[in-house]
Structure 1
């Protein structure tokens, strides 16, 4: 039951409240900007060397994961975001289907997992900056210096946080141009030079035989990898929180999703092959091999002077990605908090409408984790557990999202959906069902200890993962159970769920047009909310 609140009529979505400054105008984000933001949110070039170890079989993994995860996520997110464009993102979608309790669980999972993920992504940015020198051996030594890495990690993250403070318009521009400079251009350079190397007839470090395309699934580790690669594509739904700032969202949001999905698969497949062409499998290092691949390609092309430039560009790409991920989940959590699901402390915003307290608490947690991750070698196994935990928490959110999309097709069948997954209910069951089962498989296999990393006792590893997963999933349930009526912010513009407007409970019939636009329906009283 959501916190009680007086009956009132909310202003139309996007309208400025009396006495307040409108923080972002409608249509602030173009289709091109949104597509770039999606690519930046999903694509991380730092993961390519890990897949390059598997040679051409990496193509199978990428395509398999795209079919059973990326495509379902993209299509489902497009339908949900355009059918329910009101504020809230995944919180609104899950809440429309299963109520605010499970919606709060989904949003809390998203915010928690991304907070723990930041240090590993930032470490790649530090390594990139280390490779801006002219002496590669010195660069490798610097990239292994813990104090250097820690200083860069914290500098990039806090810079990203302060950029996020400046509001939607600023971080959208940083995300767009940083993504172009630090992700799109480096990816294109990697692919063009890698395939130029292939066509030149130079010696390849990978076998391109057709028989190697399909992995040997009698090896259990290959099955684990096939499921683990799903999360390479995670994040396509994240920018749905900004759907109200997109120009003509009912048309442009699905287009941006499709463009970014195709570009993402192409970057992953072709970029991984480019690295495999030039770096021997035995020499692949998960943190340094991407930079070494660029260095070797530039040297081969007689443009070695570009290597430091590319290292700086990659670091800029990391900043753009961090800005995108800092802003998205935090903005979503702010909307949820102001709707009455978290104490007033978490609802503080600055003049740009950004969640300063949420961003600062997140920054403090990231700072502590970064110190542990970078400085104390004894916690590496523990951090591996936390990294795997982020995968589990994210997949819990995806399971709820897919289930919500399937359920809403029947519970709110009359709801206008500017983009609708083709094939009627069968199409939704097929697409959403594949995504749900793929996520469930990945979730189960996430508890399998990684074969390439020493984690101590496998039983202890699994036990700790299970306990931490249960505890963190229980936290949002506990917060929801103790919520107070005064937590709801009178300035909240979170529109009521469609079922609230229809009758105050999830089973109320929803008439066509209710909650779809025009005048936002009145919020029902707390007594009617069950």
Structure 2
């Protein structure tokens, strides 16, 4: 999901770097990647495709997950200074585009909160003994708003005390609320499949390949790309693994296969027991667990799973409330945000950004009352999250290609395989896949009732325009007094600033071609 800032480094990217002792094994890094990426809340959206969902998951892994992982590893090791994606994009296209990229990471995570917290609210609704009453409560828009805002502001107050306060919740939330429930769902799906009970989905090989003549089949599939977002988070750890040229791609392969397997098998488990026409984006995961446990005579386990899933949401939200905000304030204190937004409290948390973020989340949550249904609001906010995050990825892939030409001599402890051709291949495929998913995200899905299709499209278009315009306006209005001595001292200049050249332009001393 959203990307945190990369760790600070005060070594010049052109200086000789100290060789670090390997501290991560291949399997450890693979597990870290799986934990960063896997979430169960979006599985019902893809369960509407049945067996075809497997094709979409594999397609998105090839055209997005693997390119993101490989390309981000080179960027993170070549430019490990503070700023993360701001640094990477800014080195290539200048600070305006870099600020746009880091702002989009922050704002898309802000929009993401109502959707993931809606899932948590539904999980809490299903801890009662009467599943029919639970389902009615979960569909109640006012209940949803109350729970979303209550959990979010609790997480915000925890984040205001610093990231350390959320570490334990985040760790156990990931294990108890995601990994274990995912394993249980897959096992339940296999048990049901081999029991001989009638399946609600056909399993013919002909159903694996989608009907490309039906354009609507591609729309919901575009959302799969965001399922895989976040793998770039752990790219910075490529320096902590032995023989990264061999072992990092191996860790990526292992984590990619495992992630795809979890998504494919978890999605099919839902499709096995719930008819496609009855799948609800918000409730179907919990209903699937209920139906499986009822089939096995283990109804008492349903509330336990619901509590575990809700705890997983709390853990995820708690750490991500502070993550992107901390990344944005680091950039802002270098002169890119007004002093009001540079404020840090006594715990080092970006207090003013967190409060403003909370107000935005509160406003967006009200959409659950205005729009025709919780499901419609859920889909619109989810798609807006996708489009904004994909804009950032488009900038990241383009920057990676350009930096191979503008800074071929910058040391990169890890390089995308196959030289310049490999960079064009992996970054080019990632850029193309992200662009296709971006365009498809604006088409209303026929499988889900979203109210007026034109309203759906215009809300998405307006949302993208507004949230892209905001950072560009802030950058254009920046003032000299925004740049403080404390902030700039902790933030290294770009390489092109140090060299006295324009962003993305080679110096005369550099080679004329990227490494081949």
Which residue pairs with 2:276 in the alignment? 281
Contact 1:414–1:510 (Cα < 8 Å) also in 2: no
Which among 492, 497, 502 is matched to residue 494 of structure 2?
Answer: 497
**1:259–1:90 CA distance, 2 compared to 1 (3 A):** farther
The structural deviation recorded for 1:50 is 1.8
Which residue pairs with 2:62 in the alignment? 67
User: Is it true that 1:152 corresponds to 2:150 in the alignment?
Assistant: no
Paired residues for 1:130-529 under 5 Å: 130-238=125-233, 243=236, 260-370=255-365, 372-377=366-371, 385-454=380-449, 458-459=453-454, 461-492=456-487, 493-506=490-503, 507=505, 509=507
| Partners of 1:214 and 1:222 in 2: CA distance | 11
Which among 36, 49, 54 is matched to residue 54 of structure 1?
Answer: 49
Contact 2:112–2:382 (Cα < 8 Å) also in 1: yes
Contact 1:373–1:379 (Cα < 8 Å) also in 2: no
The structural deviation recorded for 1:463 is 4.6
Contact 1:81–1:89 (Cα < 8 Å) also in 2: yes
The structural deviation recorded for 1:222 is 1.5
1:449-494, Cα deviation, whole Å (9 max, x unpaired):
3323455665565455434433332222221111111112322211
Task: State the secondary structure of the residue aligned to 2:219.
Answer: helix
| Partners of 2:463 and 2:28 in 1: CA distance | 37
Paired residues for 1:104-115 under 5 Å: 104-115=99-110
Which residue pairs with 1:126 in the alignment? 121
The structural deviation recorded for 1:194 is 1.0
Contact 1:86–1:244 (Cα < 8 Å) also in 2: no
1:11-30, Cα deviation, whole Å (9 max, x unpaired):
9369xxxxxxxxxxx99x97
Structure 1: state its 5+ residue gaps. 1-9, 15-25, 513-530
Which residue pairs with 1:12 in the alignment? 10
| Partners of 1:257 and 1:167 in 2: CA distance | 31
Contact 1:61–1:229 (Cα < 8 Å) also in 2: yes
> Is the deviation greater in 451-460 or in 330-339?
451-460
CA RMSD after TM alignment: 3.0
Contact 2:177–2:308 (Cα < 8 Å) also in 1: yes
Contact 1:110–1:329 (Cα < 8 Å) also in 2: yes
| Partners of 1:270 and 1:401 in 2: CA distance | 31
Contact 2:501–2:507 (Cα < 8 Å) also in 1: no
Structure 2: state its 5+ residue gaps. 1-7, 13-19, 511-516
Contact 2:66–2:252 (Cα < 8 Å) also in 1: no
**1:450–1:236 CA distance, 2 compared to 1 (3 A):** same
1:195-247, Cα deviation, whole Å (9 max, x unpaired):
1222233332221111111111111112333433222222222466xx49996
| Partners of 1:329 and 1:143 in 2: CA distance | 29
TM-score normalized by the length of structure 1: 0.84
Contact 1:502–1:508 (Cα < 8 Å) also in 2: no
The structural deviation recorded for 1:99 is 0.9
Contact 1:126–1:143 (Cα < 8 Å) also in 2: yes
| Partners of 1:484 and 1:64 in 2: CA distance | 45
Task: State the secondary structure of the residue aligned to 2:436.
Answer: helix
| Partners of 2:129 and 2:47 in 1: CA distance | 26
Contact 2:394–2:431 (Cα < 8 Å) also in 1: yes
Contact 1:204–1:277 (Cα < 8 Å) also in 2: yes
How many residues matched? 488
